[in-house]
Amino acid sequence: MDHLLEVNHLEVNFKTYGGEVKAVRDVSFHVDKGEIMAIVGESGSGKSVTVQTIMGLIPMPPGKINNGEALLHGQDLLKLTKKRMQKVKGSKLSMVFQDPMTSLNPTMKVGKQIEESITTHQRIGKTEVKKRAMEMIRLVGISNPEERYNQYPHEFSGGMRQRIMIAIALACRPELLIADEPTTALDVTIQAQVLDLMKDLKEKMNTSIILITHDLGVVAETAERVAVMYAGVIVESGTVEEIFSNPRHPYTWGLLESIPDVNSEKKERLIPIEGSPPDLFSPPKGCPFAPRCKYAMDVCVEAMPPGFEAEEGHQAKCWLNDPRTPDVEDLIAAGREEY
């Protein structure tokens, strides 16, 4: 089956005064029609850079695409001219950002900001555009759109602004919505509302979603497939069920272990992953997680592990999954015990 979006061997560097930062290294993943695919990882793991590269939002320079392709319906977005890419952005592919407080133009009525994404791509009359903007405001769950249409962003709360952002992103009914930590800046109850809204609209519009987050709870609730990123590399990917029930990478174990248990009666300390991510100016030649990994072997420091297929569609870049590793199943089982 053809994928809606297929990213292959993407490599993005940033030139800085200190040298070149290798922000994204050999990242491949795909998104199918109508699915929600999550990318999880800590700050600086390269998840935002990955999707912003696909959207053409990374300024080049300092950014530089060293390798890779991003095929939307087989068309490589990374090779499009700026003009052609502008036609794709907003109409087939759109984006919701992390911080709704600063992502809307403060001096423009929100109605106009929604209209703008429609009129950029479609030629339709004034009254018709306004009608559609109102409809979008209603669709994202904001009451009295007539009044809200004429208001400015500062008259909206954070959650409401994120709803407006979603309305802007979905106004042209794109095939793929990229949501870059859409709920990180919102408080918990609003988070749930916004996620529900996105799931709901995904069903209504048959839009696929790439959901970027560092919250595994959000992943479990919304996504169908998930890719775990660490130090610019996708270390494990698979369906949500697989990743949560049968994780094959020590970093994923660590992430799962670190989720605090709300229902726990006794006071428990949070379990962190010891150490810090590698310096991306000169990433290690082996597995980037090896220095922090309890199960690291000699080979881990020496060579980058290839993707080992655990199940159909479930890959883990970890030497523990190599058939030559002794007692691998025991180790993996032991690792899983921990959380």
The residue with tokens 């690792």 is 335
Count of other CB atoms within 10 angstroms of residue 19? 13
Q: What token pair was written down for 110?
A: 């929100």
Q: Is 73 in the site for another protein (CB under 8 A)?
A: no
80 binds another protein (CB under 8 A): no
* CA separation for the pair 168, 107 (Å, rounded): 16
| List 53, 117, 252, 321, residue binding another protein (CB under 8 A) | 117
Determine which residue in the list 31, 95, 186, 320 makes contact with another protein, applying CB under 8 A: 95
* Strand extents, DSSP E, the chain: 5-16, 19-31, 36-40, 63-72, 75-76, 93-96, 176-180, 208-213, 225-230, 233-239, 308-311, 314-316
91 binds another protein (CB under 8 A): yes
In the numeric block, the tokens 């005064």 are attached to 17
Q: How far is the CB of 313 from another protein (least distance, A)?
A: 30
Q: Which of 31, 40, 129, 165 binds another protein (CB under 8 A)?
A: 165
- Contact call for residue 77 and another protein (CB under 8 A): no
Residue nearer to another protein on the CB measure, 154 or 204: 154
Distance CA(114)–CA(93), nearest Å, equals 15
Check residue 86 for interaction with another protein (CB under 8 A): yes
Could you tell me the smallest distance in angstroms from the CB atom of residue 114 to another protein? 10
218 and 211 Cβ atoms separated by less than 8 Å? yes
Our finding on whether 246 is near another protein (CB under 8 A) is: no
Q: Pick the binder of another protein from 23, 55, 160, 287 (CB under 8 A).
A: 55
Q: Looking at the chain, how many residues does it have?
A: 339
Q: Which of 172, 171, 192 is closest to 182 using CA atoms?
A: 192
Q: Among residues 105 and 276, whose Cβ is nearest to another protein? A: 105
Residue 255 contacts residue 271 (beta carbons within 8 Å): no
Stretch that binds another protein, among 9-17, 25-33, 78-86, 214-222 (CB under 8 A): 78-86
Based on the shown chain and the rule CB under 8 A, indicate whether residue 285 belongs to the binding site for another protein. Answer: no
x-or-dash pattern for another protein, window 143-162, by CB under 8 A? ---------x-x--------
121 binds another protein (CB under 8 A): yes
**3-class state of residue 24 by DSSP:** strand
Using CB under 8 A as the criterion, which residues of the chain lie in contact with another protein when the complex forms? 55, 57, 82, 85-91, 94-95, 97, 99, 102-109, 113, 116-117, 120-121, 152, 154, 165, 168-169
